[in-house]
Amino acid sequence: MNMPMLLPHPHQHFLKGLLRAPFRWYHFIFHSSTHLGSGIPCAQPFNSLGLHCTKWMLLSNGLKRKLCVQTTLKDHTEGLSDKEQRFVDKLYSGLIQGQRACLAEAITLVESTHSRKKELAQVLLQKVLLYHREQEQSNRGKPLAFRVGLSGPPGAGKSTFIEYFGKMLTERGHKLSVLAVDPSSCTSGGVGQSEFAVADMVDMFVLLLPPAGGDELQGIKRGIIEMADLVAVTKSDGDLIVPARRIQAEYVSALKLLRKRSQVWKPKVIRISARSGEGISEMWDKMKDFQNLMLASGELTAKRRKQQKVWMWNLIQESVLEHFRTHPTVREQIPLLEQKVLTGALSPGLAADFLLKAFKSGDY
């Protein structure tokens, strides 16, 4: 099996789109405090993609009349020119056949802010989701991939772990897709808001911690710890074995105080070393245990459905905010009102009210 793709730059919109469709791979989203070097293997394309038809229920004001619209692929493609249709078909065929060039083009398309290209991206994603649905049904309804998010502070050894762990999985015949992003705070260097976004995309969230303590781990928010399904203390070798054991014991105690998020899984704390290989195989065993338990209980299916709802509202919020900012009347008033807020002449709440009223009343 080939070693799959590593993307060294953030692709949030691509994550929101393509990663919502599980693939017949193991997806790992690694957070890296620095961009990885050229020695890391470059991407392997997706080989299983898919889509579902959506039924929208709209309730009109006053009349309370239900409007049911069955969204089909035909509805999405009717407005495409022949050239656009050929372009989308080429990308779709290339994606399901595992062609890297088509993957790169698909990323560019989905990331585009151009209105027409955004429409083409949605057509492509809809075709992808349909294919995925068909593949999942042939797999007796079970997910085609296990998606794992990994995060940790600078110095946790994420890059080394990625290389060792990835090689181990591919040697065992697994297909692996890796997407690396750099979400760390530019001021504190700690783990931040992006981890919450990633946790809403994956089946299992793993936190990597260096064998340090006190001030060195203060940048990690409690909320991140609460989201972790597995905590791995890295670099547990040589002179660092003793501090690694201490950190392990501290987090075992800390996790006991946190609220229970699953009825079938209790977060674990383990020690690993990517240099010696200690604990890496056992870590994978625990990941598989998590997957099996969550699948059997139905919690994994419920989690994925909830994640899709979260991303729907995230996308709505982004779109509404962009529409608000680009409204002609609002755009004209923003600089003036911002200046008044900065100088204290106007409260933030009152300025917001003015802008919202301008948005609601202005002709667009």
* Residues 169 and 254 both lie in one domain: yes
Question: Do residues 231 and 255 touch, judged by C-beta distance below 8 A?
Answer: yes
Distance CA 232, CA 252 (A): 11
* Residues 234 and 348 both lie in one domain: no
* Residues 201 and 229 both lie in one domain: yes
* Residues 289 and 155 both lie in one domain: yes
* Residues 124 and 208 both lie in one domain: no
Which residue blocks in 78-218 are alpha helix, DSSP H?
Answer: 82-96, 100-111, 115-138, 158-171, 193-199
* Residues 222 and 272 both lie in one domain: yes
Name the β-bridge partners of 177: 27
Sequence-distant (≥ 6) Cβ neighbours of residue 333 within 8 angstroms:
354, 355, 358
Q: What is the domain count for the chain?
A: 3
Residue where a domain stops, chosen among 297, 323, 352: 297
291 found inside a domain:
yes
Q: State residue 70's pLDDT score.
A: 45
Domain that residue 310 falls in: 306-361
* Residues 82 and 122 both lie in one domain: yes
Parallel/antiparallel/unpaired status of strands 66-71 and 54-59: antiparallel
Q: Which two tokens stand for residue 28?
A: 């790992």
By 3-state DSSP, what share of the chain in percent is helix, strand and coil, each rounded to 5?
Answer: 50, 15, 35
* Residues 205 and 286 both lie in one domain: yes
Distance CA 323, CA 253 (A): 47
DSSP 45: -
322 found inside a domain:
yes
31 found inside a domain:
no
Q: State residue 350's pLDDT score.
A: 95
* Residues 134 and 228 both lie in one domain: no
30 found inside a domain:
no
Q: State residue 60's pLDDT score.
A: 37
Residue 230's φ and ψ, nearest 5 degrees, are: -150, 130
Residue where a domain stops, chosen among 297, 315, 337: 297
* Residues 250 and 346 both lie in one domain: no
* Residues 204 and 253 both lie in one domain: yes
Q: State residue 311's pLDDT score.
A: 87
Distance CA 79, CA 176 (A): 36
CB atoms within 10 A of CB 163: 17
Q: Which two tokens stand for residue 162?
A: 């990625």
Burial category of 261 from C-beta neighbours within 10 Å (exposed 0-12, middle 13-18, buried 19 and up): middle
Which CATH number is 352's domain given? 1.10.287.130
User: Three-state SS for 40?
Assistant: coil
CB atoms within 10 A of CB 178: 25
106 found inside a domain:
yes
Q: Which two tokens stand for residue 252?
A: 């075992």
Q: Which two tokens stand for residue 138?
A: 């042939």
Burial category of 122 from C-beta neighbours within 10 Å (exposed 0-12, middle 13-18, buried 19 and up): middle
Which CATH number is 75's domain given? 1.20.5.170
10 found inside a domain:
no
Residuewise pLDDT in 10s, the chain (364 residues): 333 333 333 344 444 444 444 333 445 554 433 333 333 333 333 333 333 333 333 333 443 434 444 455 565 666 889 999 999 999 999 999 989 899 999 999 998 989 899 999 999 999 998 998 899 889 888 888 999 999 888 888 999 999 999 999 999 999 888 887 765 444 444 755 667 778 888 999 999 999 875 555 555 667 788 889 999 999 999 999 999 999 999 889 888 888 888 999 999 999 999 999 999 999 999 999 999 999 999 999 999 999 989 989 988 998 899 999 999 999 999 999 999 999 999 999 999 999 999 998 864 4
Instruction: Return contacts of 40-43, CB within 8 angstroms, 24+ apart.
Output: 40/6, 40/8, 40/159, 40/162, 40/163, 41/3, 41/4, 41/5, 41/6, 41/166, 42/5, 42/6, 43/4, 43/5, 43/6, 43/7, 43/100, 43/103, 43/177, 43/178
Question: Do residues 121 and 178 touch, judged by C-beta distance below 8 A?
Answer: no
User: Three-state SS for 52?
Assistant: coil
26 found inside a domain:
no
* Residues 272 and 345 both lie in one domain: no
314 found inside a domain:
yes
Which residue's structure tokens are 């982004």?
A: 318
Which CATH number is 246's domain given? 3.40.50.300
